[in-house]
Structures are given as structure tokens and as C-alpha cells.
Amino acid sequence: MTDTTTVTLEIRRLGARGDGMAEDGTAVALALPGERVTVRREGGRGHLVAIERPSPDRVAPFCPYFGTCGGCAVQHLAAEPYAAWKRGQLVQALSQAHLDVAPEPMIDAHGEGRRRLTLHVRATEGGAEAGLMAARSHELVAIDHCPITVPMLHRAPRVAEALSAPLGHGRKPLDVAFTATEAGLDVDIRGHGPVAEGVRAVLVRLASELDLARLALHGEVLVERRAPAVTTSDLRLVPPAGGFLQATAAGEAILAEAVVAALDKKTKRVVDLFSGSGPFSLAMARTRDVHAVEGDAAALASLDRAVRAVPGLRRVTTERRDLFRRPLLPLELDTYDAVVLDPPRAGAGAQAARIAESKVALVVGVACDVGTFTRDAATLVAGGYTLERVTPVDQFAYSGHVEVVGVFRKPRPVRRRL
């Protein structure tokens, strides 16, 4: 059993997850630097009891679920210190990796709000509730709507609850992933497993009654009433059901613009690694030949359909490949003028090592985790690259996550005349 004590602490700094960190190392959720707080301490964590001396940077959170739901960590922090905290995470990670570069000012990429949301559905007496998980807990926090999402997603909890009915009202825990698209809601239900034909028919009927653009079960499309398209770089893209998409439309536009801006006049051929459905490939294909490499066949098929629908793009080719197990080798990479690298949160350790051995002059790295970004960046720098510029992008507002764009350059080998 964990010992519980009530103590008064001084909060010194804000941790990476948004917890206030006391002078003795205790992490206190919802506390801010400079505050004197009374907490109920259990192990290394403190549960806030009272704020004896509030910080001048404390503001009223706008969400009624803040402090209960585990989604947002820092709605109670004013804008300027919030931006400094997020940029500071990147500064610290770069320093720990011995990368001598000062980040650019942070770019706000929240835009109109999150366009993706995954809700959890659990059974209640006589029905179901949809919501988000409490912080560091498996307890469900039922919500009316999530205020940081785009308005189209505000009805998502009611939709999730309705879709759970033919699946047993969430007696088996369900995850319902929503994406707001130009055609309406794109929904993918996960956690139930295969269903009988009669249940499929009911779900298809519900998709019509709820006016969904598309409904899928574990990525398998049950019905597509309208193509759930999004616009990226002024081009129309239909991601696969349950497929990856940047969290906000503003974030995708800002990241794509940063990638294209990093390419120079000598860049004619680019390889886009971990391309997904290809938002960066499409942006670059207006002026460069692009080879998109991705492990998900459905994502590559979406990119291929988008390319075929737009005349005038440069040549875009695709390759399905597991870049964790089979990274592109230096001889393959050397046929390109630039590499764009946008791996999942785990980073691209094996692929970064092969890039470091290559002669590619320019690498543009995009990452959603500062730790794996700096790890892979250190690998590239050890291989002869210079990290010229690194920019934090705040796509995941009010959370501890920071998106990063880094530009790496290696001197081109000098060709000697015989």
C-alpha cells in the first residue's frame, strides 16, 4: 500500500507532461511554477488539494472537463508562458543530445481545432456512454463534446453511443475514431472484432440515419455514402478508413509549407519516407519528382488516386516497404537530391542510420516527439550533416506534444576531374 501524506510544496517548473514539479521532485497535476500548493502525496505524485499562492500566469480553463479528462494538460496557463514552455521542451532535448542550434519561434497550428478524435465507449445500465479517459487512468469521462475539436466533431459522442447499440452498447470496450472531412464524418469502429451480417446491415442503416460520409469496422469499409475527402496543398485526398491524418488542417498546411520551403533549386528528385497518404508528396509534386515510400498499402493507394485526379503534377511513384525492417540503403538514397522523413512517434532509428551513411545533400525531418527527433538528428549529425534550422509547431494545443521540423544539410561531394 502506498503511503499518503498531506504536504505544502513550492512548484519550481513545469514538467514535460504539464505537471507542476516541486522542489523535492513531486509531480503535481494542475499546479504552475511559482505556486505554493497543498497536496496529498502518494509516492512521487501529488494530488492538488489547495492553491495557497496562485501564479500570475494562471488563467481559467475553457473546457468543463479540464482536470478530469486526460486529454489536455495546460489549459490553465497563459499564452506567453505556454509557448515558452513548449519551445523550452525542444531546447532542452536539443541540449541533451548535444545539438548546438537554437529553435525558431513556435508556430501555432491549432487552427479551427482538431479534426480527429477517438472516443471510448463503455456500457452503462441500459445503454452506453462515450468519452475520453481520465488522466493516468482507465476510467471513462463521459463528455457532451470536446471543445478543442472542430464543430463537426461536437456530435461525435452521440454518434459513438448510437453506433455501439448493435454492438452490445460497449459491453466489449469500443474505440470509435472520427475524422472531420469535407463530406462529413468519417468513422472507424475498433475493438469489437468480426460481426454477423445482420449487425453489419444495422450499422449501414445507422450510417445513413446519422448522415455519415463513411463507416468502417477495423478499417474495413462497411459503407461509403460520400467520399470523405480533405484538401491538402489545394489537392483533393481521400485517406483510407482509419488511416493517419495530421491532427489539424492548419498543422498539415504549415508542415507541408515548411517541407517545400526547405527544398532548394538543386532539388529535382525527392524521396518521401513514411509518406502516409502523401500530403507532403502532393505538395512537392507541383515542382519536383517524388518517390513516396510507406508500409501501408491503403495509404499509398489513396495517394495514387489523388495524383491521377490532378493533371500537371510532376512524376509521383510509390513503393510499399517496411522502413523499420528494410530501410532504404545509401546506394538507393544517393539517387535522390533530398529526403523527407516523417516517421511515427517511435522515430526512424534504422532509417536515420542509413541516411547518415548516404551522400544525400538535404534532409527534411518532421517529427511529433522531441525525444525521438533529437535522437535521430544526432545520428544524422554524427554522419556529417549540419542541423541548420529547427522549428517547433504547436499542432497538439494544450498537451505536452510538440511537432518539429528540422532541416539538415551535408556538403555535396566534390567531383575531381581526371
CATH number (domain holding residue 341): 3.40.50.150
In a domain, 99, yes or no: yes
Kindly compute the dihedral angle of the four CA atoms of residues 151, 152, 154, 155, in this order, to the nearest 10 degrees. 150
Residues 221 and 176 in one domain: yes
DSSP labels, 313-375: ---EEEEE--TTTSPPPHHHHTTSSEEEE---TT--HHHHHHHHTS--SEEEEEES-HHHHHH
pLDDT by residue (tens digit) across 64-110? Answer: 999 999 889 999 999 999 999 999 999 999 999 999 999 999 999 99
pLDDT by residue (tens digit) across 134-161? Answer: 987 889 999 999 999 999 999 999 999 9
What amino acid is encoded at 210 in this protein?
L
Q: Is the pLDDT of residue 264 over 60?
A: yes
- Rounded CA gap, 278 and 318, in Å? 10
Query: What CATH code is carried by the domain that includes residue 54?
Result: 2.40.50.140
Domain boundary among 228, 256, 290: 228
Residue range 289-314: mean pLDDT, rounded: 95
In a domain, 71, yes or no: no
Residues 197 and 268 in one domain: no
Q: Hey, which residues does 136 pair with through a beta bridge?
A: none
Residues 327 and 404 in one domain: yes
Residues 16 and 156 in one domain: no
Q: How many CA atoms lie within 13 A of 69 on its CB side?
A: 24
In a domain, 350, yes or no: yes
Residues 35 and 164 in one domain: no
Q: Is the pLDDT of residue 416 over 60?
A: no
Q: How many CA atoms lie within 13 A of 30 on its CB side?
A: 19
Of 69, 72, 146, 368, catalytic = 368
125 pLDDT band, cuts 50/70/90, is confident
Q: Per the structure block, which three cell numbers stand in for 222?
A: 462497411
What amino acid is encoded at 213 in this protein?
A
Residues 136 and 187 in one domain: yes
- What is residue 120's predicted lDDT score, i.e. its pLDDT? 96
Query: In angstroms, how far apart are the furthest CA atoms of the chain?
Result: 84
Compare 386 and 127 and report the one with higher pLDDT: 386
Name the region of 356 (left: φ>0; alpha: ψ -120 to 50; beta: rest).
Answer: alpha
In a domain, 308, yes or no: yes
In a domain, 414, yes or no: no
- Cell 505554493 appears where? 36
Domain boundary among 198, 228, 258: 228
**Is 368 one of the annotated active-site residues of the chain?**
yes
Residue count of the chain:
418
In a domain, 68, yes or no: no
Report the chain's terminal Cα–Cα distance, integer Å. 77
In the chain, DSSP finds a helix count (H) and a strand count (E) of 9, 22
Residues 322 and 368 in one domain: yes
82: nearest Cα among 59, 50, 104: 59
Task: Kindly tell me the burial class for residue 311, based on how many C-beta atoms sit within 10 Å of its own C-beta (0-12, 13-18, 19 or more).
Answer: exposed
In a domain, 390, yes or no: yes
- What is residue 417's predicted lDDT score, i.e. its pLDDT? 53
Residue range 267-291: mean pLDDT, rounded: 97
Residues 198 and 163 in one domain: yes
The per-residue pLDDT of the chain, averaged, comes to: 94
Structural domain count, the chain: 3
Q: What is the domain extent for residue 93?
A: 84-110+245-409
DSSP labels, 258-294: HHHHH--TT--EEEEET-TT-HHHHHHTTTSEEEEEE
In a domain, 381, yes or no: yes
The residues, any chain, with a CB within 8 Å of residue 215's CB and separated by 6 or more, are: 163, 187, 188, 189, 203, 204, 206, 207, 221, 222, 223
Residues 164 and 220 in one domain: yes
Q: Is the pLDDT of residue 418 over 70?
A: no
Question: Given strand 403-409, what is the order of strands in its sheet?
Answer: 107-108, 386-394, 403-409, 362-367, 338-341, 269-273, 289-294, 316-320
Compare 179 and 124 and report the one with higher pLDDT: 179
Residues 290 and 392 in one domain: yes
Query: What CATH code is carried by the domain that includes residue 206?
Result: 2.40.50.1070
Q: Hey, which residues does 131 pair with through a beta bridge?
A: 120, 142
Residues 48 and 143 in one domain: no
CA R_g for the chain? 23
1 pLDDT band, cuts 50/70/90, is very low
Residues 207 and 300 in one domain: no
pLDDT by residue (tens digit) across 322-352? Answer: 999 999 999 999 999 999 999 999 999 999 9
Chain-centroid distance of CA 45 in Å reads 27
Domain boundary among 228, 254, 283: 228
